[in-house]
Amino acid sequence: MSGKANWPEGVARRLLDTVDSTNAEAFRAAPHLTGPCWFVAGEQTAGRGRRARAWTSPRGNFHGTLLLHPTEPAATVALRSFAAALALRDAFVALTGLPDAFKLKWPNDVLLNGGKVAGILLESSGAGQGVQHLAIGIGVNLIAAPEATQVEQGALRPVSLLEETGLRIAPEVFLDALAPAYARWEAIFAAEGFAPLRAAWLAHAARLGETIRARTGTETREGRFETIDETGALILRQSHGPVAIPAAEVFF
């Protein structure tokens, strides 16, 4: 494997051929693991995106989950979605040399030339208010993207890395770039909190300062994408002032 020399110390990995979903596999293994572990599958038979949507998982794309055992409150644990997005961008840039091509879409997508190339799904298990295990699920369209007809109306077009750049990158090679990139952001998060992640994320945010739409349930709000706050919430500037939106689907 190309990046073994850079593999983060103390982090395990399991390469699997076929699983239902890497998040599900990570949770099954969680009681027997004491440290972080990456699970990467050749293909998934029941991959999921946000809001339990099916995630197309053909062989050759990246289907992976990082399992962690966090100790912070749930709201703090959830901020790791931004660490994952930053790590994804770092991995893409390291492998392609195209820093201007990749942007971050709130709350948890990575864009390539304006289309969605990767998504992140955080799931957790625990008792009461605590989080015992965190699964950071990551899907990357390395060689193939869903058809436009497979995504909801108004959503960004799906794209693949191969289609947009001509580069064919194997999932294992992508993992070798992604794992150390995530470890760097995790170390920064542990030492300095969310502030440096927030600043870095905003530096690469898609449509910052532009008018966007945020849909929560049946309500859609339109306004200028002003920033994200210290909790990771979207701050939308409307005529009556700024509105903080903790969770929503964003449309451009």
Rg (CA), the chain: 17
For residues 180 and 217, state if they share a domain.
no
Shared domain for 96 and 167, answered yes or no, is yes
Query: Does residue 122 contact residue 131 with C-beta atoms inside 8 Å?
Result: no
pLDDT band at 58 (very low <50, low <70, confident <90, very high): confident
What residues make up the domain containing 31?
A: 4-203
Q: Residue 65's Cα: distance from chain center in Å?
A: 10
216 in the same domain as 199: no
Q: pTM score, two decimals?
A: 0.93
Q: 126 or 136: whose pLDDT is higher? A: 136
CATH number of the domain enclosing 143: 3.30.930.10
236 in the same domain as 125:
no
pLDDT of residue 2: 43
Do both 196 and 137 map to the same domain?
yes
Here the tokens at position 168 are: 């064919």
Are 22 and 75 contained in the same domain?
yes
Query: Are 183 and 224 within one domain?
Result: no
Whether residue 222 is found in the same domain as residue 114 = no
pLDDT in tens, 172-199: 999 999 999 999 999 999 999 999 999 9
On whether the CB atoms of residues 185 and 225 are closer than 8 A, the answer is: no
**Is the pLDDT score of 131 beyond 90?**
no
Same domain, 12 and 123: yes
User: What's the total number of domains in the chain?
Assistant: 2
Residue 230 and residue 167 in one domain: no
H-run or E-run covering 57 = none
Complete DSSP assignment for 114-164 = TEEEEEEEEEEE-STT--SEEEEEEEE-SS----GGGS-TTSPPB--HHHH
